[in-house]
A and B are shown apart, each in its own frame.
Chain A
Amino acid sequence: MGTHVIKMPDIGEGIAEVELSQWHVKVGDMVVEDQILADVMTDKAMVDIPSPVHGKVIALGGQPGEVMAVGSVLISIEVEGAGNYQAPAAATPATAPAAPESPPVAEHKPTVQAEPRPQSPAASAPATPRAAPVPRQADERPLASPAVRKRAWDAGIELRYVHGSGPAGRILHEDLDAFLNAPQDALQAPVAAYAKRIGEEQIPVIGLRRKIAQRMQDTKRRVAHFSYVEEIDVTALEELRVHLNEKWGQSRGRLTLLPFLVRAMVVALRDFPQINARYDDEAQVITRLGAVHVGIATQSDDGLKVPVLRHAEAGSLWSNASEIARLATAARTNKATRDELMGSTITLTSLGALGGIASTPVINAPEVAIVGVNRIVERPMVIKGQIVIRKMMNLSSSFDHRVVDGMDAAQFIQAIRGLLEQPASLFVE
């Protein structure tokens, strides 16, 4: 005696589920070939399921009204002979359904059922040659050649999600291609408007990026950042800058805002020596410096670099301007020397047109201050009861609050503001 299992057939409408409407038999009934066993309902039609075999019903796979997956066991019938179902040996990874069988609705002849399998050939004895793909259990190792595995790793694909169409469920290159090209979850999802992207790229954090990451993290962890934002009316300064560029632009080179800012910092720092300093927190020593070496934060293709404008206090507007331009080019083209990239006492960071309205710059430790420049915008301002259009720019600065008090920091920025709003005072000794 064997067991013949009938599975919920694929009725051919591309559906995954079928509702079991009614049983025409019950457990213990004898059935004959072609006898109707059950009615099932798809969203389109009611379908009869006839028996392909003679035998006794030994189990029903569901209750009327139950929605069953295509391929799940509908009914088990005890038959003469081997049947089409072999009880799984303990833990044999072959319990999952085999390749889709011919649906009984399509063919009523019992002979179309999968060929009877040998019950249990003795160990080491001849076995029937048969190697249909058997689906893998969830915890089973995917079967794929080393070349396929490597390709999957490189593409970021987990092989256990890939259907293997080869012998014994082996995953072939074609299966990988199909997986890569297939829209994910084709059954549920409507056609996506945009292609889904899969895979991920791991970028090792090395070289300059690693240095930047370390420095930033270290600074943020150790330094008590205190940020201060003030707005500055740069209308007069811009007029002066435009004027100077018109008059001297050809002969001395064009000026950006940066050399004016550098000049303002240099002048303001005379009264705030505690801000042009380096704080060695391990030795607990603050070193105040006479020279103002201004670090100019510069974006390069590799990442952030800070070349240093040396002795900014001794440079003229134009000499500082040309030095800043030279350093920026050197940093961007990777030509900046080691010396040009170290020794700053305070840092200036500007994103130019991308400056935004405020930022919270990270101090270039062991310095104690960084001045950030935001974008210049024209804004309606109230001056002496009149609304006038002024060119306004914010300065966003950070200070090491461990050694710079808030009052000093604020006064320092106010001093810069005063100098920039009255640009003539920049040049009065």
Chain B
Amino acid sequence: MQTLNTTLLIIGGGPGGYVAAIRAGQLGIPTILVEGQALGGTCLNIGCIPSKALIHVAEQFHQTHKHSQHSNLGIKVQAPSLDISQSVSWKDGIVDRLTTGVATLLKKHKVEVVHGWAKVIDGKTVEVESAGVRIQCEHLLLATGSESIELPMLPIGGPIISSTEALAPRALPKHLIVVGAGYIGLELGIAYRKLGVEVSVVEARERILPTYDAELTAPVAESLKTLGMKVYLQHSVESYDQATQTLQVRTADGHPVPMAADQVLVAVGRRPRTRGFNLEILDLKMNGSAIATDNRCLTSMRNVWAIGDLTGEPMLAHRAMAQGEMVAELIAGKRREFSPAAIAAVCFTDPELVVAGTTPEAAQQAGLDCIVAQFPFAANGRSMTLESKSGFVRVVARRDNHLILGWQAVGVGVSELSTAFAQSLEMGATLEDIAGTIHAHPTLGEAVQEAALRALGHALHL
């Protein structure tokens, strides 16, 4: 077995790992990255990117279908049909382009990529058996991401699928049941519905998108109804009978209900990937099921770092990237800490949903005296031209000095507002700063300014 020596060894080539590698390369740190599957990790291959591609296909199909029936816009088309294999290969093309791009960037920054499964030997040694190498490093960066949680009564296989299979369908089911009404389940459920599949959603808790507040998720719940999706809240799944294609579900009061479905998508969340690469041997301090780290992403072992989903919630690619960049700079001897004011999170449901910073509920729990104000898209011109009337932008600010603590929005296309939200929070903007910034007309962004104006007591268009 060949022994390689390096300064930084990264396990995992997802958004956290590859960004750390690129930044380390820029800083002249000898770096080796070990990836067991494909560069880009969950995000590029079986997560963010492919799901957005599928959502785009579904939206185009859905719009065309709508026009073929009754078009307010006056567009006349024939009812569309769908070649799903063509859709999937289009999506694969995007994924290919992005992962190839990552490989090129790594090469450009002189990062050595070793393909194979890493096996941790100790805090400074990793073996990759399939590649026949043993790697000695000074710094070990764990960036192994997360994996879908499986339900013991619904093991993945055949008609029971996870998001991975749902993103590469060979054929569409007739009736899909989505288990879990979190963002993954709803994004995919809505996409499948728009592609013409009958979709039902089963959720154990009392509302959809349970991590967001009811006010914010109401427009999404409304949209599910309009799309003809059935939502079963406070229902738990029992088992699936393949012969009769029936999912056994239990209601809140314990009544068993059979539900017909030829495919079941299990989307009940993700958990840190801590198993399968002998990480146990390091006996790192844990934080629940995640690796515990300090504000520099250092684990309980010196020179062993962990970033991204492996370190727990919020499991977001952009968080992992920021941490990866920071760890590379720390290893290069710079002083850094991971202390963002906010990390925005986006759900690409229909309508989309964005949260950044403190929610009204969290502010209240923290005992903060806050102003909460929202501006509805019903009063926004651009929104109307996008055939959208639902949704709003909401701002949370301290009453004493008007410092903005958080933003939330729900509505068509609001994912792009996450940029403005995160920026205002990182810059420490006050309500007056946002109210005093001219927002271009006609854009959805005007609702951001109006929300701030409303918090100050003088919204113009309401």
Interface residues of A (CB under 8 A from B): 89-94, 121, 123-134, 141, 143-146, 149, 153-154, 156, 166-170, 202-204, 206, 210
Contact = CB atoms under 8 A, between A and B. Distances in A.
Interface stretch (B68-76, B156-164, B266-274, B425-433): B425-433
A101 to B, nearest CB: 16
B336 A131 contact: no
Given A128-B457, A129-B457, A132-B401, 5 more contacts: A91-B368, A123-B370, A129-B432, A146-B427, A167-B402
Interface string B381-405: 0000000000000000011111100
A154 B427 contact: no
B369 to A, nearest CB: 5
Given A124-B371, A126-B458, A145-B426, A153 B399 contact: no
Contact of A167 (B336, B370, B433, B458): B433
A154 B335 CA distance: 6
Contacts of A169: 401
27 contacts: A89-B367, A92-B369, A93-B368, A93-B398, A94-B400, A123-B371, A124-B373, A124-B374, A129-B432, A129-B457, A131-B432, A132-B401, A133-B401, A134-B400, A153-B334, A153-B335, A156-B335, A167-B401, A167-B432, A168-B401, A168-B402, A202-B333, A203-B333, A204-B331, A204-B333, A206-B7, A210-B138
Q: Which 9 pairs show the lowest CB-CB distances between chains A and B?
A: A126-B457, A91-B367, A94-B400, A168-B403, A168-B401, A131-B402, A143-B428, A170-B428, A134-B401
B366 A167 contact: no
Interface in B423-462: 426-428, 430-433, 455-458
B426 A89 contact: no
A93 B336 CA distance: 27
B366 to A, nearest CB: 7
Contacts of B433: 167
Nearest to B457: A126
Contacts of B458: 126
B419 interface: no
Q: Pick the most buried of A91, A146, A203: most chain B CB atoms within 10 A of its CB.
A: A146
Contacts of A134: 400-401
Contacts of B147: none
If over half of B's interface residues share one DSSP class (helix, strand or loop), that class is named, otherwise mixed; here it is loop
B337 A153 contact: yes
A415 to B, nearest CB: 44
A141 B338 CA distance: 13
B304 interface: no
Interface residues of B, number: 37
A346 to B, nearest CB: 30
B369 A131 contact: no
Interface in B243-287: none
Given A127-B455, A129-B456, A202-B333, A167 B426 contact: no
Contacts of B341: 141
A170 to B, nearest CB: 4
B300 to A, nearest CB: 20
B456 A168 contact: no
A378 B379 CA distance: 97
Nearest to A202: B333
Contacts of B401: 94, 131-134, 167-169
A149 B456 CA distance: 29
B453 to A, nearest CB: 10
Contacts of A144: 428
A124 to B, nearest CB: 5
Contacts of B209: none
B456 A126 contact: yes
B317 interface: no
Contact of A130 (B138, B332, B402, B455): B402
A166 B458 CA distance: 24
B34 interface: no
A127 B341 CA distance: 24
Contact of B426 (A146, A154, A166): A146
A168 B457 contact: no
Contacts of B336: 153
Contacts of A94: 369, 398-401
A131 B430 contact: yes
Contacts of A168: 398, 401-403, 428, 430
Q: Pick the most buried of A133, A156, A206: most chain B CB atoms within 10 A of its CB.
A: A206
Contacts of B334: 153-154
B372 interface: yes
B81 interface: no
A92 B336 CA distance: 30
Contacts of A93: 368, 398, 400
Contacts of A141: 339, 341
Nearest to A124: B372
Contacts of A145: 426-428
A169 B401 CA distance: 8
A189 B231 CA distance: 70
B367 A92 contact: yes
Contacts of B370: 123
Contacts of A126: 456-458
A168 B425 CA distance: 12
Contacts of A202: 333, 335
A177 to B, nearest CB: 18
B371 A127 contact: yes
Contacts of A133: 401
A247 to B, nearest CB: 52
A148 to B, nearest CB: 9
A90 B366 CA distance: 10
Contact of A206 (B138, B399, B402, B426): B138
Contacts of B426: 145-146
A236 B309 CA distance: 75
Contact of A90 (B331, B339, B367, B399): B367
Nearest to A133: B401
Contacts of A204: 331-333
A127 B367 contact: no
Contacts of B339: 141, 149
B310 to A, nearest CB: 24
A242 B7 CA distance: 51
B431 A131 contact: yes
Nearest to A129: B456
A168 B398 CA distance: 9
Contacts of B332: 204
A92 B337 contact: no
A127 B335 contact: no
A121 B372 CA distance: 11
Nearest to B400: A94
A235 B402 CA distance: 85
Nearest to B402: A131
A123 B455 CA distance: 10
A94 B456 CA distance: 19
Contacts of B369: 89, 92, 94
A124 B371 CA distance: 6
Nearest to A86: B400
A161 to B, nearest CB: 15
B348 to A, nearest CB: 26
Nearest to A131: B402
A211 to B, nearest CB: 12
B194 to A, nearest CB: 35
